[in-house]
A and B are shown apart, each in its own frame.
Chain A
């Protein structure tokens, strides 16, 4: 009878968990471990000197700073875009909807070249900004623009289905209870989409940190100013400094993991907090 007592209503737990563990190990964990193992070939002093070099530190600041900022910008405008796509119907809506995914599909280098061409001193937009003293291409701002570009679909595509699920009835109920439009959005709509919005934010951020192709064209890659961490890693690899490259990579991994963990914890906290009486 022992066999019967452990029978589950939904079978296949052992098998699927096994697949999950093996797959994650092969695809994610083992390659990531290799990063740390390779890093371990450095002495502590070498390691510290590599990861705390001024160029490296400046690049962390740029990579993580612009990624967070870009994800935040995308969270705001991605939400508005998703809102418009869900709540209103207008001619060309389908086309706009399809446009959202383009940054996914485009080779990132193409995006980088296109953005550079537009925002360079003699580009379509750049030439108008130049007299105003605004430089975008070959500055950290350029990095931000590129990261906003590639991160947009993540927010829109995570928020959109949740908004579709949120019946207009909830907004009508809020209005009939006397809530202004602003109160309805902040107290009824936003709390409902917040988990999706945080997920979109985290995805856009993660993509931004790892982004290489579109950024290096527009960034100008000036050491200490507009050089992103992935570029430092590539540079080290090209100089056959594998251990140095993996050391920087390990730092990126640890920071990214920590930030994503914090975002997840925030999400769990807000879900719990929201349900309780405030």
Chain B
């Protein structure tokens, strides 16, 4: 089912949680609401679910106005950050809950409930835990049970609030690909909230970047990562190196030299350039052109090595990622002076919305 959020605004006292948000969530897609904590993404999710009411605006589910509908009637599956599994019920009863509370006329017979719950537990690969209490499960298992419980009522929409927020890194990674697989099998329109850009990039069909109650950018993971609309999005989607300078004739001018810019035209006397760590090259030759910097620390493990440097002029800090092989060739050690050459940089002139 498609979801449309129209002119939604929400204030808590003097604090604007959401300011006039309009968004479309296409049918069958997995969308990430990505943003820093306190940006309003969870509030938006709760408004879509009907757990919170907006001050103004409308929620349309499959074209029909659901703004006034109670959460009970919206047919949304909501997975809570801390799972909210009923502690006094077994895993089986937790999943069966949504079926058991149906009005008598719609309630399936016991045998059907049993079959359906076991099928869902199979789906989340935890059928062997049916008789356990939630307290006896690990975090990852609880998350999957919470998902099975939400799916039991056959929701039109699945909403997940920081689904992996409370899990450790390894489990998080496993669950991530598992959830993507599940979504590909079920194709329920799903929205999840996260502050982890890696999670959003890896998992979602579409990413909505939210900041301070506003939508900064909407697009595919590739689009938001490669063509960030503004400095905020750029900074939020990955680590970046920052250079101050000016833009003229499609070139970015800074102390270390002039570099070709992909996205800026016109003349800007004050602009900030952003460079991803893997878009900086290290040049050790004495006559090299680039930003002079001194090596501070070298972190060489795995296939990609990280080099931390500080600028010779100014207080700049740089982070460079290069293949481990190249690092060996460069033969760097802390204290070396090198030149940094940007292979690609994006410039956001000052005064543009979202720039810092």
Contact = CB atoms under 8 A, between A and B. Distances in A.
A192 B87 contact: yes
B146 to A, nearest CB: 8
B97 A174 contact: yes
B95 to A, nearest CB: 10
Given A173-B78, A275-B90, A277-B92, A179 B84 contact: no
Contacts of B93: 277-278
Interface in B62-118: 70-72, 76-78, 80, 82, 84, 86-90, 92-93, 97-98, 101-102
B124 interface: no
B93 to A, nearest CB: 6
Interface stretch (A40-48, A135-143, A180-188, A258-266): A180-188
B131 A178 contact: no
A132 to B, nearest CB: 41
Contacts of B49: 176
Contacts of A278: 93
Given A177-B98, A178-B153, 16 more contacts: A169-B84, A170-B86, A172-B51, A172-B78, A172-B80, A173-B78, A173-B80, A176-B76, A177-B153, A178-B98, A178-B101, A179-B97, A188-B86, A191-B88, A191-B89, A277-B92
A4 interface: no
B90 A276 contact: yes
A176 to B, nearest CB: 4
A33 interface: no
Given A277-B92, A277-B131, A176 B77 contact: yes
Which bucket holds chain A's interface residue count? 20 to 34
A31 interface: no
Given A169-B82, A169-B84, A192-B87, A176 B101 contact: no
A275 B84 contact: no
A167 interface: yes
A176 B51 contact: yes
Contacts of B51: 172, 175-176
B80 A275 contact: no
Contact of B72 (A178, A187, A191, A277): A178
Given A177-B97, A177-B150, A179-B101, A169 B80 contact: yes
A277 B90 contact: yes
A274 interface: yes
A187 to B, nearest CB: 7
Contact of B101 (A172, A183, A274): A183
A183 B251 CA distance: 66
Nearest to B93: A277
Most buried by B among A169, A173, A180: A173
Contacts of A177: 97-98, 101, 149-150, 152-153
A183 B86 CA distance: 13
Which bucket holds chain B's interface residue count? 20 to 34
B133 interface: yes
17 contacts: A167-B82, A169-B80, A173-B78, A174-B97, A176-B51, A176-B71, A176-B72, A176-B76, A177-B97, A178-B98, A179-B72, A179-B97, A180-B101, A183-B101, A191-B88, A274-B88, A277-B93
Interface in A190-224: 191-192
A167 B131 CA distance: 24
B97 A275 contact: no
Contacts, number: 74
Interface string B106-141: 000000000000000000000000110100000000
A276 B78 CA distance: 25
Contacts of A167: 82, 84
Interface in A52-67: none
Nearest to B78: A176
Nearest to A191: B88
Nearest to A192: B88
B83 to A, nearest CB: 9
Nearest to A270: B88
Contacts of A187: 97, 101
B13 to A, nearest CB: 14
Contacts of A175: 51, 70-72
Interface string A238-278: 00000000000000000000000000000000000011111
Which 5 residue pairs across A and B have the least CB separation, nearest first? A177-B98, A173-B84, A179-B101, A176-B78, A169-B84
Nearest to A274: B88
Nearest to B74: A176
A180 B97 CA distance: 12
A33 B337 CA distance: 90
Contact of B84 (A172, A180, A191): A172
A191 B87 CA distance: 9
Contacts of B78: 172-173, 176
Interface string A24-54: 0000000000000000000000000000000
Contacts of A183: 101
A192 B84 CA distance: 13
A277 B88 CA distance: 10
Interface string A138-179: 000000000000000000000000000001011011111111
A267 B49 CA distance: 37
Nearest to A181: B72
Nearest to B70: A175
Nearest to B101: A179
Most buried by B among A174, A176, A178, A277: A176
Contacts of B80: 169, 172-173
Contacts of A176: 49-51, 71-72, 76-78, 150
A202 B79 CA distance: 38
Most buried by A among B50, B89, B153: B89
A172 B98 CA distance: 13
Nearest to A173: B84
